[in-house]
């Protein structure tokens, strides 16, 4: 520890938030908090909070798994982050691929990373090529495709696009939407319900205060959001609630959002995302910006410890930036998997994938038991096997899907990076990638920092 009370953890490569030049940075700990400290010769010094809890930060690597191989598209030339991608230096395959099917949007959110509004739709031939490219890059095993935008439901062929994604055999298709069309167009909701099973709506919902809606979305859309949820519930469409979290705006509503999600049938989980400062996003206080462990602590407090910080583990495929709590329903309600099992013992059998959902864990855990390779928490494993058995015994596909949708739940916290908290080491493990029309895979964070503008200028059919 030096005289200022800082402990130095490591040196990384970052960028200057103003000129985006690559500069070295130090990861330091003070008062149990982790900061990134850097200086640009032109634009001065920066001290930015990256984690509230140094203990969590320092132990994350215990969960780290070796990366999954996938194909590369670019060469190492200018160095990370200017060679995306994926270039040979990237250390994780694609867990989720985003295809931004339109630049149009029916909202004008002040925090929009895509700065969406007016713009073109992608044509079907280009989308088809992008999906094939994703499958090929993942050696035919691509798991999750997320249809995004802009607002993807404004694409006149969105239903055909979902059908196309199903035809291309992705394990999950997600529709990343603000929900306005789902609130207003019940025929569309019925069409979506045809896709149940490997289909999920990734639904933007930031909280229950009207002021929260106005802050994030530019106007009060609370009633529309609630209507959208009730339309999806009515049609049994699985939903993940996605909430952007900003300090002093909705960080007091996290427990309420979790409870609402747990209480609402067919809501399969919540994903919290600390606000990132790119696109139209404004700038908060960098010494107190929202972090993963800040969110975990608030969830514990705001649920009166029903859900604890210790129920979350770093996601094995990207331990730096994603924390996850998988839950299953037992006679007490939803129970976090990590509360009763040392997940670390099962790491070798867990895939490097965001799709490693509870169903997969249950199945693999039971398989581990049958092989004699289990951790010894017998009474607990009986629960697992009971669930697993029911889930596997249901031969009827619809019943099985319904079972999983109603009995499993996940809370994830996903932290993307902006030019303030960016570091090359963490971005190399980012597993959420944007597929571009000219057939590249670009990590979501670097795409928004360095590449989006370039693609905004190009015509939608630039793949041709």
Q: Which residues bind Zn ion (CB under 5 A)?
A: 16, 18-19, 40, 42-43
How are beta strands 33-40 and 441-443 bridged, if at all? unpaired
Closest approach of ligand SF4 to the CB of residue 160, in Å: 21
Is there binding between residue 116 and ligand SF4 (CB under 6 A)? yes
Closest approach of ligand SF4 to the CB of residue 298, in Å: 23
Closest approach of ligand SF4 to the CB of residue 447, in Å: 9
Structure tokens, 361: 């864990």
Is there binding between residue 178 and ligand SF4 (CB under 6 A)? yes
Is there binding between residue 107 and ligand SF4 (CB under 6 A)? yes
Closest approach of ligand SF4 to the CB of residue 151, in Å: 5
Closest approach of ligand SF4 to the CB of residue 9, in Å: 21
129 vs 425 by CB, closer to ligand SF4: 425
Q: Strand runs (DSSP E) across 238-332, as ranges?
A: 239-245, 267-274, 313-314, 322-330
15 vs 107 by CB, closer to ligand SF4: 107
Residue 86 binds which entry of ligand SF4, Zn ion, none, with Cβ cut-offs from 5 to 8 Å by kind? ligand SF4
Q: Kindly give the residue spans of alpha helices, DSSP state H, lying in 23-74.
A: 54-59
Of residues 130 through 169, those in contact with ligand SF4 by CB under 6 A are 149-151
Closest approach of Zn ion to the CB of residue 142, in Å: 38
Backbone angles phi and psi of 172, in degrees to 5 = -130, 140
Closest approach of ligand SF4 to the CB of residue 369, in Å: 38
- Of 310, 303, 275, whose CA–CA distance to 55 is shortest? 310
Of residues 59 through 88, those in contact with ligand SF4 by CB under 6 A are 80-81, 83-87
Backbone angles phi and psi of 162, in degrees to 5 = -65, -45
Of residues 428 through 447, those in contact with ligand SF4 by CB under 6 A are 428, 443, 446
Closest approach of ligand SF4 to the CB of residue 373, in Å: 34
CA distance 138 to 141: 5
Residue 404 near residue 359 (C-beta atoms within 8 A): yes
CA distance 313 to 293: 11
Is there binding between residue 108 and ligand SF4 (CB under 6 A)? yes
User: Which residue minimizes CB distance to ligand SF4?
Assistant: 85
CA distance 80 to 427: 9
Q: How many CA atoms lie within 13 A of 383 on its CB side?
A: 18
19 vs 186 by CB, closer to Zn ion: 19
Residue 87 binds which entry of ligand SF4, Zn ion, none, with Cβ cut-offs from 5 to 8 Å by kind? ligand SF4
Cα dist from 252 to 269, 275, 294, 438, whole Å? 19, 15, 11, 42
CA distance 274 to 256: 17
336 vs 443 by CB, closer to ligand SF4: 443
Residue 445 near residue 417 (C-beta atoms within 8 A): yes
Handedness of CA 64, 431, 34, 38 (dihedral sign): positive
40 vs 401 by CB, closer to Zn ion: 40
- Sequence-ordered list of residues with C-beta below 8 angstroms from that of 136, at least 6 positions apart, any chain: 71
Residue 443 binds which entry of ligand SF4, Zn ion, none, with Cβ cut-offs from 5 to 8 Å by kind? ligand SF4
192 vs 275 by CB, closer to ligand SF4: 275
33 vs 217 by CB, closer to ligand SF4: 217
85 vs 238 by CB, closer to ligand SF4: 85
- Sequence-ordered list of residues with C-beta below 8 angstroms from that of 299, at least 6 positions apart, any chain: 254, 255, 258, 307, 309, 411
109 vs 327 by CB, closer to ligand SF4: 109
Cα 441 from chain centre: 16
Of 239, 290, 427, 434, which one interacts with ligand SF4 (CB under 6 A)?
427
Closest approach of Zn ion to the CB of residue 278, in Å: 16
Q: Strand runs (DSSP E) across 246-339, as ranges?
A: 267-274, 313-314, 322-330, 333-336
Residue 151 near residue 180 (C-beta atoms within 8 A): yes
CA distance 59 to 350: 19
The binding site for ligand SF4 (CB under 6 A) comprises 80-81, 83-87, 89-90, 105, 107-109, 112, 114, 116, 149-151, 178, 427-428, 443, 446
């Amino acid at each position: 520890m030096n005289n200022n009370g800082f402990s130095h953890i490591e040196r990384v490569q970052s960028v200057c938030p103003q000129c985006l030049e690559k500069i070295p940075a130090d990861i330091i700990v003070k008062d149990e908090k982790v900061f990134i400290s850097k200086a640009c010769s032109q634009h001065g010094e920066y001290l930015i909070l990256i984690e509230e809890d140094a203990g969590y930060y320092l132990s994350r690597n215990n969960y780290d798994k070796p990366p999954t191989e996938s194909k590369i598209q670019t060469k190492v030339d200018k160095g990370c982050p200017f060679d995306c991608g994926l270039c040979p230096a990237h250390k994780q395959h694609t867990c989720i691929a985003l295809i931004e099917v339109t630049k149009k949007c029916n909202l004008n959110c002040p925090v929009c990373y895509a700065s969406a509004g007016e713009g073109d739709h992608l044509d079907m031939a280009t989308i088809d090529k992008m999906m094939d490219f994703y499958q090929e890059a993942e050696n035919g095993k691509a798991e999750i495709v997320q249809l995004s935008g802009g607002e993807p439901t404004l694409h006149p062929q969105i239903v055909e696009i979902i059908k196309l994604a199903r035809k291309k055999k992705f394990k999950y298709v997600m529709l990343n939407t603000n929900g306005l069309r789902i609130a207003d167009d019940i025929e569309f909701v019925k069409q979506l319900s045809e896709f149940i099973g490997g289909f999920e709506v990734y639904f933007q919902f930031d909280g229950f205060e009207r002021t929260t809606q106005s802050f994030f979305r530019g106007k009060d859309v609370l009633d529309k959001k609630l209507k959208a949820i009730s339309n999806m519930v009515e049609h049994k469409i699985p939903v993940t609630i996605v909430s952007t979290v900003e300090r002093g705006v909705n960080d007091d509503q996290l427990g309420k959002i979790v409870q609402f999600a747990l209480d609402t049938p067919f809501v399969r989980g919540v994903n919290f995302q600390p606000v990132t400062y790119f696109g139209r996003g404004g700038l908060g206080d960098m010494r107190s910006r929202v972090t993963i462990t800040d969110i975990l602590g608030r969830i514990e407090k705001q649920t009166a410890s029903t859900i604890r910080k210790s129920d979350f583990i770093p996601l094995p495929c990207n331990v730096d930036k994603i924390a996850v709590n998988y839950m299953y329903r037992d006679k007490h309600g939803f129970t976090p998997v990590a509360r009763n099992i040392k997940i670390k013992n099962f790491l070798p059998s867990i895939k490097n994938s965001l799709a490693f959902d509870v169903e997969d864990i249950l199945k693999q855990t039971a398989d581990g038991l049958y092989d004699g390779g289990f951790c010894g928490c017998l009474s607990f494993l009986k629960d697992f096997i009971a669930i697993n058995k029911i889930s596997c015994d249901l031969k009827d596909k619809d019943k099985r899907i319904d079972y999983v949708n109603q009995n499993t739940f996940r809370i994830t916290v996903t932290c993307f990076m902006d030019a303030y908290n960016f570091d090359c080491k963490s971005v190399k493990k980012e597993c959420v990638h944007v597929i571009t029309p000219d057939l590249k895979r670009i990590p979501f964070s670097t795409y928004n920092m360095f590449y989006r503008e370039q693609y905004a200028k190009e015509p939608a059919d630039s793949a041709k």
